Amino acid sequence: MPSTSTPEVDQELVTRTRLAVLRMARRLRQHVDPGITPSQQSALAAIESRGPLTLGELAAHENVQPPSITRIVGNLEAADLVERTTDASDRRVSLVQVTPAGRAELDAIRAQRNAWLAQCLARLDEHELDQLRDALDVLEHLLAIGT
């Protein structure tokens, strides 16, 4: 009978993984000056991928309080990156959706980050790239089981 016990995880592995992921995310953010805050970027990306959304749905997705999401969306709306529309099924409900300018902003941010990362990856040899491909499979699996 196979063992159902979970293997003990080395705390150094936990710490190194956490730090590497956080540092990589920070570096990616640092190499782009999008003109909008990380919170605004996150909300804009959420609206793009899930939208149109109500402010309540967006606040829940972003795990922030309604006043915070109202301020974030207000700033995005002022920059013409999102627009509010009326829900066809309930005219009392307002939905937020990404504008063409918002999509262009997200595309530019992603392109700049990808360009920086591509320059870094170009410095790796083929063996390191293969190791990275294998590690990405594990990280993607880890993300899938962690939700």
* Tens digits of residue pLDDT in 110-129: 999 999 999 999 999 999 99
Indicate the number of domains in the chain. Answer: 1
Domain interval for residue 109: 32-145
Which pair of tokens denotes residue 111? Answer: 């392109």
What is the distance between the alpha carbons of residues 93 and 87, in angstroms, rounded to a whole number?
Answer: 5
Residue pair 135/81 in contact by the 8 Å Cβ criterion: no
Which pair of tokens denotes residue 21? Answer: 């992921």
How far is C-alpha 16 from the chain's CA centre? 21
Q: So what's the pLDDT on residue 104?
A: 95
Given a cut of 80, whether residue 143 has pLDDT beyond it is yes
What is the distance between the alpha carbons of residues 46 and 76, in angstroms, rounded to a whole number?
Answer: 13
What's the predicted TM-score (pTM) here?
0.79
Q: So what's the pLDDT on residue 18?
A: 94
Q: Does residue 9 belong to any structural domain of this protein?
A: no
Q: So what's the pLDDT on residue 34?
A: 66
Q: What is the CATH number of the domain that holds 130?
A: 1.10.10.10
Which pair of tokens denotes residue 114? Answer: 């990808």
Nearest to 20 by CA among 135, 137, 147: 135
Q: What are the φ and ψ backbone dihedral angles of 86, each rounded to 5 degrees?
A: -95, 135
Strand segments (E) across the chain? 82-86, 94-98
Taking all residues of the chain, what is their mean pLDDT, rounded to a whole number? Answer: 91
Q: Does residue 16 belong to any structural domain of this protein?
A: no
* pLDDT tens digits for range 38-89: 899 999 999 999 989 999 999 999 999 999 999 999 999 999 999 999 888 8
